[in-house]
Structure 1
Amino acid sequence: MDTITKSDLNILRNQIISDIGNLLDNKLANNNQSEEEFGWMRSKSIRKKLNISAGTLQNLRITGKIRFKKILGSYYYNSEDLMHLFDDGEI
Structure 2
Amino acid sequence: MPTSIITTDDLREFKLELIEELKALISKTPTQQTRKYLKSAEVMELLQISPGTLQNLRINGTLPYSKIGGIILYDAEEIQRILNENRIDNSF
Give TM-score, length-normalised by structure 2: 0.51
Distance in 2 (alpha carbons) for counterparts of 1:49 and 1:73: 21
1:51 aligns to 2:48 (yes or no): yes
RMSD of equivalent CA atoms: 1.9
| Unpaired runs of at least 5, structure 2 | 1-31, 88-92
The aligned counterpart of 1:23 is: none
What is the alpha-carbon distance in structure 2 between the residues aligned to residue 61 and residue 84 of structure 1?
16
Provide the residue aligned with 2:57 in structure 1: 60
- Structure 1 Cα separation of the partners of residues 75 and 60 of structure 2: 14
After superposition, the C-alpha distances for 1:35-78 in whole angstroms (9 at most, x for unaligned) are x33x2110000001111011111111112222211122121111
C-alpha distance in 2, partners of 1:45/1:68?
Answer: 13
State the one-letter code of the partner of 1:64.
G
| Structure 1: segments with no counterpart, 5+ residues | 1-32
Give the counterpart letter for 1:56 in structure 2. T
Residue aligning to 1:75: 72
Q: What is the CA distance between 1:85 and its match in structure 2?
A: 2.3
Instruction: Give the counterpart letter for 1:41 in structure 2.
Output: L
| Aligned position for 2:84 | 87
Runs of 4+ with >2 A deviation: none
Structure number with greater Rg is 2
Q: How many residues align?
A: 56
The answer (yes or no) to whether the contact 1:65–1:81 under 8 Å persists in 2 is no
Q: For residues 18-33 of structure 1, what are the structure 2 equivalents within 5 Å?
A: none
Give the alignment's TM-score, normalised by structure 1: 0.52
